[in-house]
A = this chain, B = another copy of it.
Amino acid sequence: MPVNLSAPDPAALHPIAGVCIGVTEAGVRKANRKDLTVFLLDEGTKVAGVFTKNRFCAAPVQICREHLANGSDIRAMVINTGNANAGTGSDGLARANATCDGLARELGIKATQILPFSTGVIMEPLPVERIVAGLPAAIAAATPDNWGNAASGIMTTDTIPKAFSTQVQISGKTVSVTGISKGAGMIRPNMATMLSFVATDADIAPALLKDLVRDLADQSFNRVTIDGDTSTNDSFVLMATGKAGNAEITSMDSADGKLLKAALLDVAQKLSQAIVRDGEGATKFITIRVDGGKTGEECRQVAYAIAHSPLVKTAFFASDPNLGRILAAVGYAGIEDLEQGGIDLYLDEVHVAKQGGRNPEYREEDGQRVMKQSEITVRVSLGRGTASDTVWTCDLSHEYVTINADYRS
């Protein structure tokens, strides 16, 4: 059961002019499952992506990097679930390339104009023949209003599809932004997360896209964590088709640029938070805000120490205000000169710890009340500066262990 997250209404997902999406069942790992998705992009669509920093990055991630670096006009993407094509060596690269070759033949474009994505089990050979065999059906099914199906088509252990959409007026034109993402374990994105695709029909200068996608990732996917495990396949792709008819945006600091960025960030943050809300076994959605730091980096260090602590996460699962566990995590986060006496801890508005010790006015029942909620904000004030940062995470439940002890069976 995801935390305060329902399935998207397909009718509320704005199509993006210039983007068609097709989904089919290719039997990659299991039968009767939508496991193959293709994105067909009109000529002139600008594409940028950020990918996992895992040194065991998957074969398709390596190929995406190459194809994007080539500066080729990207015209299609192909996404399979059921198999991550990671930890597969040179054979994995050959299979990912064969997938691109297959789609290139079908579409009459070059293989270098295609971005491949895979998600699923690691270190198993990709059944490329089944994927290639499924491509014609996926292409035939492609329509502009297929974002809802695509959100379902890229799911693995996700319990619910994730898609968000918004519109914004830019230079007198309606610009749409629509995106999808999937989780739901091995989630501690490092540059991006396990598959998210966001498209807009805005017209935007190609030079801006690369920085923009990094900025967006840093404020969304790079601030969520479920289990601290950085995936081999994390990919976040931004597409801009330029069909909205707005005057081309040439700076993200312009009025139009800021409007578009806010719309994109809104969708990206909702998509990344949706991954946490649907995190494996999640029963609570937790916002961890650390302020009063000397640098944003040390605020993140503290926030991630809390977000990754199995003891903190099981206490949230139990709704037990065993809040000393949070202080312990703050203490071992790695800030060498941190002074206990400067630290305050809040659970929503409840002031739990004051100057490093229990707040004399703190009452257990107040902590208990907040801990029972499905949405909780933990705020740690380091008392040593003005920097701050925020990370989103979930609790650690029996269900997480069940899911991951059974994942391959």
Binding site for B on A (CB under 8 A): 53-57, 84, 86-92, 121-125, 185-186, 188, 190, 227-232, 308-311, 314-315, 317-318, 320, 322-325, 327-333, 335-336, 338-341, 353, 355-358, 396-398, 400-402, 404-409
Chain B residues, Cβ within 8 Å of A228: 308-310
Consensus secondary structure, chain A interface: loop
Minimum Cβ distance to chain B for residue A56 (Å)? 3
- What is the CA–CA distance of A397 and B314 in the complex, to the nearest angstrom? 12
The CA of A65 and the CA of B353, in the complex, are separated in Å by 24
Q: A53 near B318 (CB under 8 angstroms)?
A: no
Which one, B84, B122, B340, contacts A56 given CB within 8 A?
B340
For A86, list chain B residues within 8 Å (CB).
324, 327-328
Question: Which B residues lie within 8 Å of A90 (CB)?
Answer: 357
Which residue of B185, B186, B325, B407 is within 8 Å of A122 (Cβ)?
A: B325
Contact residues in B for A185 (Cβ distance below 8 Å): 311
Residues B404 and A401 in contact, CB atoms below 8 Å apart: no
Interface centre among A314, A320, A396, A407 (most CB of B within 10 A): A314
Q: Assembly of this chain: how many copies?
A: 2
When chains A and B are docked, how far (Å) is the Cα of A408 from the Cα of B325? 12
The smallest C-beta distance from A389 to any residue of chain B, in angstroms, reads 19
A322 touches B229 (CB 8 A): no
Q: B56 touching A330 by the CB < 8 A rule?
A: yes
Complex CA distance for A163 and B84, rounded to whole angstroms: 46
User: Which chain B residue lies CB-closest to A186?
Assistant: B311
Distance in Å: Cβ of A373 to nearest Cβ of chain B: 17
Q: With the chains together, A350 CA to B121 CA distance in Å?
A: 20
Given A310-B228, A311-B229, A353-B123, answer yes or no on A327-B56 (Cβ-Cβ < 8 Å): yes
Asked if A357 and B229 sit within 8 Å, CB to CB, the answer is no
* A357 near B91: Cβ-Cβ < 8 Å: yes
Give 12 new A-B contacts, CB below 8 A, not counting A229-B309, A397-B401. A55-B331, A55-B332, A56-B340, A88-B358, A92-B357, A122-B328, A123-B357, A124-B358, A232-B328, A314-B404, A315-B404, A322-B407
* Chain A to chain B contacts (Cβ below 8 Å), 20 pairs: A55-B332, A55-B336, A55-B339, A55-B340, A86-B327, A87-B324, A87-B328, A87-B357, A89-B340, A89-B358, A90-B357, A123-B358, A124-B324, A227-B310, A228-B308, A228-B309, A229-B325, A230-B332, A232-B331, A314-B401
- Contact A88 to B229, CB < 8 A, known contacts A320-B408, A331-B55, A332-B54: no
- Residues of chain B within 8 A (CB-CB) of A329 are 229
Q: Which of B310, B338, B358, B397 contacts A55 (CB 8 A)?
A: B338
A317: chain B residues at CB < 8 Å are 401, 405
